[in-house]
Structure 1
């Protein structure tokens, strides 16, 4: 395994594995025994960065979520896991009532919600201090100043270490970080977005985001990250649900544009040269990109996880990277 440091402050920064394990479906679709086996294998391989959220996975059984955090709490206690692991969770998107579909009425990011939800996450995870806490949603009428101050209070009190934002527009992230810096408060240091080798169209409307951009890493995000190399990028769903390697998992319409076949051709070329799988090439490309990303991978079996773990040791040549980057 390889590692990188996220965060600037010596009191809160963490050294994490360059591959993160997503626990979204642990405790619901992925049963407890399988989830424990995947977590054990990840740690055995040197993995130290695990991701969840307080609303995972409400849509599976029509709940408000929390099953993933609860399972991680049971696993941590049974294994005696401690500060050697970095567990990230999120708040803001938990439904106000049980829901089996996309919930529009969510807790949001008021000072009250941030405090109460973070306390419940600590209880479910069995942690006195959350290593990394993300603001999970930008659907809020709460003033940014209130959000910034509420998250900073948790850090000051020692209830949270690092702060992050997931699925926020670049301008919202910049606004929040500027307000925090001006007030001398801790701000977002980790950004989490949907990011992979293939590029998505951003002109598809959704129920949450009329311009289709919610969650997608955009050119604005990349420019912002490029301007501040100390920010860390976590890339969720980097393997597109298996679409790179499985014929029964076709790409969605968001990839229906002229650049997709060109990039797929370049990817297949590198796959042939390396003898690796397409998934492994994509993960290696993300880890070593100009703006390095920490891929956040899911796994429903130990075998799936092992494929992703092998990508950490895959070294693409400079020429291969240049060819992958240049494909449009």
Structure 2
């Protein structure tokens, strides 16, 4: 199943009992990839950012299945000032910060290695050599097995990969960005601090780099595709959205699927790993159904050309 389970609410709004049930069902259905970070969900009152990783670590320990699970976690965006709910005091990507962040995640997750370790945000105050060197050192120690960059500009990703290639270091082989079926208005800003959208340039770059994989977050736009109580984000308020939604609903009806499932199948058909955050078993079952949905070339063409 080429879906990563987003785990932001685990250990907080999704308590341990429900988190364990969701994780059990996901794994039973063939899911292996879990996505978390060392700061989820620091922005919620009363939370430190430890909660998601601790919940996953408790589940791994209880089930004894670490070798069957692919852990994706991140460092660099954890506030260093207690109570800060912004990224103003984020730990950043200095060598010491990267090392300390990874060690903290390993401890909370109760594991000796992280399968995919992300630099969570850009830090242009630290030379790329320093960040990448620290990540390579973690790889040499066996503490991380691959590295990715989240919320990074395409040109910075290319520069980072060149630095690693010249030094013979482990390169970034994944990028994590906000991406969905709908296309945003050009030059719009996201209200969520730290988020970065995948652009046409990003997708073109990825098409030319076969060793790179896009992990997409906010794929279902907080439920806006199917829930009338969840308004469409303002960045998608343009005529093209109306036409694209019409085709999405047509295809979903023809397949007997939900619009969410078609969106996820569309992403996976391009080799993208959609990160799907769930808080209920019903949401998880919908995602599992998407993994079994196949879009033939004619349907993909209809979806792609709607604008």
Considering the TM-score relative to the shorter chain, is it more than 0.5?
yes
Give the corresponding residue for 1:303.
282
> What is the distance in 1 between the residues matched to 2:191 and 2:131?
24
For the Cα contact (< 8 Å) 1:109–1:147, is it kept in 2? yes
1:258 and 1:203 map into 2 onto residues whose CA distance is 16
Inter-CA distance 48–243: structure 2 relative to 1 (3 Å threshold):
same
2:161 maps to which residue? 177
Please name the residue that 1:130 is paired with.
Answer: 114
Equivalent position of 1:156 in the other structure: 140
- In 1: Cα distance, 2:179 partner to 2:299 partner: 20
| Length-normalised TM-score, structure 2 | 0.96
Q: In structure 1, what is the equivalent of residue 226 of structure 2?
A: 245
Is residue 261 of structure 2 the alignment partner of residue 277 of structure 1? no
Tell me how far apart the structure 1 counterparts of residues 84 and 168 of structure 2 sit (CA, whole Å). Answer: 41
| Structure 2 CA distance for aligned equivalents of residues 50 and 200 of structure 1 | 27
Alpha-carbon shift at residue 214 of structure 1 (Å): 4.3
| 2:10 pairs with one of 18, 23, 26 | 26
SS at match of 1:83: helix
Distance change in 2, residues 1:140/1:28 (3 Å)? farther
Counterpart position of 1:10: none
When normalised by structure 1's length, the TM-score is: 0.90
- SS of the residue 1:133 aligns to: strand
Q: Would you say the 8 A contact 1:169–1:214 is kept in 2? A: no
Deviations 1:63-83 (A, max 9, x none): 431110011111110111221
Indicate the RMSD between aligned Cα atoms, in angstroms. Answer: 1.5
Give ranges in structure 1 of 5+ residues lacking alignment: 1-16
Distance in 2 (alpha carbons) for counterparts of 1:144 and 1:115: 15
How far the C-alpha of 1:100 sits from its partner, in A, is 6.0
Does the CA contact (< 8 Å) of 1:193 and 1:236 recur in 2?
A: yes
For 2:285 and 2:201, how far apart are their aligned partners in 1?
34
Match of 1:109 among 83, 93, 101: 93
Q: Of 97, 105, 109, which aligns to 1:121?
A: 105
Corresponding residue for residue 197 of structure 1:
181
Deviation for aligned residue 1:202: 4.6
Change (3 A) 1:298 1:207: closer
The Cα offsets for residues 93-135 of structure 1, whole Å up to 9 and x where unpaired, read as 0011233633321000000000111001000000111111000
Which residue does the alignment assign to 1:316?
295
Q: CA deviation at 1:268?
A: 1.1
1: CA distance, partners of 2:191 / 2:225: 27
Deviating 4+ runs (over 6 angstroms): none
User: Where in structure 2 are there 5+ consecutive unaligned residues?
Assistant: none
| Aligned residue-pair number | 307
